[in-house]
Amino acid sequence: MFIGEYKHNIDEKGRIAVPAKFRKQLKGAIITRGLDRCLFVFNKIEWQELAKKLIALPLAQANSRAFVRLMLAGAMEAPLDGQGRILVPEYLKQYAALKKQAVVTGLYNRIEIWDEIEWQKYKSKTEASSDDIAEKLSELGI
């Protein structure tokens, strides 16, 4: 289970450290385009399940076709190096507008990588609608 929020730097070579707590659970990482201009990183097992769901989507619908292309064509194996870092391909860095400072978040069965500024914006936008949040929570029985 991946949870938490970590601030890390991307160096000139495009490498970013995976938080130490995530490493054991990441046997064979896959990195790909995510939603809302961030990157997704999956465990190999999770990735295979997702891929199965993706290819099951109706080919006839234009938007599901586009979604499948986004996820599958964007994907890349990302083995951890000796220091526990992964290499972010150039085209994915551009997609997520990644500069030096980035944020790595754990979302249960996937990891996301955000540009720090974008992440802050996204968070404050969401926190601003705290009434919605309260509502959601009460729906979940909290």
Partner DNA sequence: AGGGGTAGTGGGGAATTGTGGATAACTATG
Partner DNA sequence: CATAGTTATCCACAATTCCCCACTACCCCT
Interacting residues with DNA (CB under 7 A)? 6-9, 11-13, 16-20, 79, 81-85, 87, 90
Selection from a copy of itself, DNA, none that 80 binds (CB < 5 to 8 A by kind) is none
Q: Please give the residues from 53 up to 112 whose contact with a copy of itself meets the rule CB under 8 A.
A: 53-55, 59, 62-70, 72-77, 89, 91, 105-110, 112
117 touching a copy of itself, by CB under 8 A: no
Selection from a copy of itself, DNA, none that 59 binds (CB < 5 to 8 A by kind) is a copy of itself
Look at phi and psi of residue 48 and say left if phi exceeds 0, alpha if psi is from -120 to 50, else beta.
Answer: alpha
5 touching a copy of itself, by CB under 8 A: yes
Coil/strand/helix, residue 103: strand
For the four alpha carbons of 11, 15, 20 and 22, in that order, the dihedral sign comes to: positive
Closest CA to 54 of 38, 71, 42: 71
